Amino acid sequence: MKPSLPSRPPGFVYKSNKLHVEKIAASDLARRFGTPLYTYSATTIRERFDIFNRAFGKVPHTICYSVKANSNLTILKMLVKLGSGFDVVSGGELERVLVVDKKAAKKVVFSGVGKTAPEMDLAIKSDILLFNIESESELELLASRASKLRKKPRIAFRVNPDVPAETHPYISTGLREHKFGVPITDAALLYAQAASTEWLEPAGVSVHIGSQITDVAPFNATMERVADLVRGLRAQGHNIRLIDGGGGLGIAYRDGDTSLKAFEASAKNYSAALLPPLNSLGIHLLLEPGRAIIGPAGALLTRVVYSKKNGRKTFVIVDAGMNDLIRPALYGAYHEIVAAEPRGTGAETVDVVGPVCETGDFFARDRELTHLEEGDLVAILDAGAYGMSQTSNYNTRPRPAEVLVEGSRAKVVRRRETIKDLLGPER
């Protein structure tokens, strides 16, 4: 039986019955660097960024990659070289951007509902592009910090358009019952309040309705409401010249096509939804893709430790756990799981689980997979986004190494943690 993958980026293909990350066999990577192991295709990252960027080429725009999706420094440096800006949601993420390139701060937008005074100070001093303000209290604190530092940061309010989006409730952010943003009906008063302060410059409007959205209609409805708001704010004398459209464009985790051709069509559909309401406004558009760029570019390699039966259930126990990839446990998320070197001996229905002491420690339940034996290597695909960035040390488990592959070269971009690393901060 010849192994095959769902339509994938060119970074993950079978050659001579072996799964390859670009030109290197996954089994070779596992032997060299151990498992669990995050692997990324540099070519896929670069090509997906370029495709997304071209989709908005007709309008002034800046891609502000969502750092929370994957914050590895080497990947951030790659994106800087491609001309990317960044969306950050913490002072720590901003520090990562500054380590990579201090000049990149001028393309940073700072989102998040709980910015602290020290985080604000760092961002003000770094002269970031835009603060996305999410409450009146945050407005007051930012004005106070700006006054103390004698600098005038550019701001936008993240408005909540109350547009529903079909996605998991944990990553839906655009409804009135969510913690994010301010009601769009309150925006006029809040912009007037901001403009009355000496040390804030209202410059934009921000919106973000959620993550992993595959139907573009909600994006269009959102931009219609944002465009109306911008016209109203300009009529009141505010110089609104930036619109932050957020991120949220999803990928096909299950039974889908994540090839570059499919992504090009998806990105074009996304731009066709966002742009028409903004045509007459003459604005600069900010975009915050994360998963759409990095998701299909990564895979988690893990080795089968044991296989066992409990009654009618067959469990394949691997050396990665929910601390290494929490999405299935947290969201019930689906990831394709494939053998690195398929045996061609038929399929069986199994649960793929980890060693963590939780029933929720699973990667797949009742999944039909090619027969796997102890010692076999498997790849959990589309793990480039919200994989390593959500890892933990639960059960005192060191986090995996990360390897970036480009052609026939593999570079460790984060070494595997050791127990010494984990115990070091403790007294």
Mean pLDDT (whole number) for 21-47: 97
Nearest-angstrom CA–CA distance, 125 and 391: 30
Q: How buried is 44 (Cβ within 10 angstroms: 0-12 exposed, 13-18 middle, 19+ buried)?
A: buried
Q: What is the pLDDT of residues 62-121, one digit of tens each?
A: 999 999 999 999 999 999 999 999 999 999 999 999 999 999 999 999 999 999 999 999
**156 burial type by CB count under 10 A (0-12 exposed, 13-18 middle, 19+ buried):** buried
| Rounded (10°) angle between helices 42-55 and 260-274 | 30
pLDDT value of residue 257: 76
* pLDDT of 16: 92
| More reliable by pLDDT, 10 or 205 | 205
Banded pLDDT at 173 (limits 50, 70, 90): very low
Residue 290 marked as a ligand binder: yes
Peptide bond into 9 cis (omega under 30): no
- pLDDT of residue 177 exceeding 80, the answer is no
Q: What is the pLDDT of residues 2-18, one digit of tens each?
A: 565 555 666 899 999 99
The mean pLDDT of the chain is 92
Q: Which one from 235, 357, 359, 424 is the annotated catalytic residue?
A: 357
C-alpha 73/C-alpha 305 separation (Å) is: 31
- Cα 426 from chain centroid? 31
Q: Is 289 annotated as a binding residue?
A: yes
pLDDT tier at 54, thresholds 50, 70, 90: very high
Q: Please determine, for residue 384, whether its predicted confidence score (pLDDT) is greater than 60.
A: yes
Report pLDDT digits (tens) over 323-346.
999 999 998 999 999 999 998 778
Average pLDDT score over residue span 32-58:
96
pLDDT at 5: 58
Q: What is the mean pLDDT of residues 149-154?
A: 98
Judge contact between 177 and 210, C-beta under 8 A. Answer: no
Place 351 in a pLDDT band, splitting at 50, 70 and 90: very high
Percent of the chain's residues with pLDDT above 90: 82
Q: In what order do the strands lie in the sheet with 18-21?
A: 12-15, 18-21, 24-25
| Long-range pairs of 21-25 with CB within 8 A, sequence gap ≥ 24 | 21/299, 21/405, 21/410, 22/405, 22/406, 22/407, 22/408, 23/405, 23/407, 23/408, 24/405, 24/408, 24/410, 25/340
pLDDT at 1 over 60: no
Q: Is 253 annotated as a binding residue?
A: no
Q: What is the Cα–Cα distance from 341 to 392, expressed in whole angstroms? A: 29
Q: pLDDT band for 175, please (50, 70, 90 cuts).
A: very low
Residue 248, annotated ligand binder? yes
How open is the CA angle 289-36-97, to the nearest 5 degrees? 35
Does pLDDT of 164 surpass 90?
Answer: no
Q: Is 34 annotated as a binding residue?
A: no
What the block records as the tokens of 204 is 């934009």
Quick one: pLDDT band at residue 179, thresholds 50, 70, 90?
Answer: low
pLDDT, mean of residues 25-53: 97
Domains and their CATH numbers in the chain = 12-41+296-423 (2.40.37.10), 111-289 (3.20.20.10)
The answer on whether 247 is annotated among ligand-binding residues is no
* pLDDT surpassing 60 at residue 168: no
Residue 254 is predicted with a pLDDT of 82
R_g over Cα of the chain? 23
Mean pLDDT check: name the lowest of 179-193, 323-337, 370-384, 396-410: 179-193
Which residues have CB under 8 Å from 390's CB, separation 6+?
Answer: 325, 326, 327, 330
Q: What percent of the chain has pLDDT over 70?
A: 93
Amino acid in the structure at residue 277:
P
Contacts 24+ apart (CB under 8 A), 83-88: 83/53, 84/49, 85/109, 85/129, 85/286, 87/111, 87/247, 87/288, 87/290, 88/112
Amino acid 165: pLDDT: 52
The answer to the question of whether 386 is labelled as a binding residue is: yes
Q: 160: pLDDT confidence band, cut at 50, 70 and 90?
A: confident
Active-site annotation holds for 357 = yes
pLDDT value at position 58? 85
Structure tokens at 374: 């102890």
User: Tokens for 350?
Assistant: 């199994």
